[in-house]
Amino acid sequence: MNENLRSIVDVDRIIHEPSRLVIVAILYTVESTDFLYLLKETGLTKGNLSSHLSRLEEAGYINIEKTFKGKVTRTICSLAERGREAFDEYRLKLEAVIDC
């Protein structure tokens, strides 16, 4: 297999999934966001978003924290250092593939 094809095959499958890519891209630029903001931005259903967030949390890419604002629960998501590095690596690979 040539080098360029290997780059495509080796891309991080966790981040490469389109919905998770959107989630990670959003979290990359901010300190944290809540579940509702991610729901609005991704356009996913609640179940779908929860599933993707769980997958990212299992991989150690994001941190999820449940807090309270008054009587309302707020699920706060932030990008972990591992997730930040994974996204940087993913972007470099993608740019290398597109530029070739």
Partner 1 sequence: MTHEIKEMMRRPFRYFYEDGIAEIAVGGLFLALGLSLLAVEAAQSKYALVIVVAIGIPLLTVGGGIFLKKAVGGLKEHVTYPRTGYVSYKSKEPSRGRWLISGAAIVFTVVLMLIPERFSQISIAEGGMLFIILSYIGYRIGMNRFYLIGAIAALIGLAAAFLTTGDILGSAATFGGTGIVMIISGVMALRIYLRKNRRPNESLR
Dihedral (CA of 61, 15, 13, 100) sign? negative
Comparing CB distances to partner 1, the nearer of 3 and 99 is 99
H or E element in which residue 46 lies: helix 46-58
Q: Which of 73, 81, 82, 88: binder of partner 1 (CB under 8 A)?
A: 73
Q: Which is nearer to partner 1, 7 or 32 (CB)?
A: 32
User: What is d(CA 49, CA 39) in angstroms, rounded to the nearest whole number?
Assistant: 7
Could you tell me if 76 and 65 are in contact, meaning their C-beta atoms sit under 8 angstroms apart?
yes
Interaction of residue 30 with partner 1, rule CB under 8 A: yes
Q: Which positions touch partner 1 (CB under 8 A)?
A: 21-22, 25-26, 28-41, 46, 69, 72-76, 91, 94-95, 98
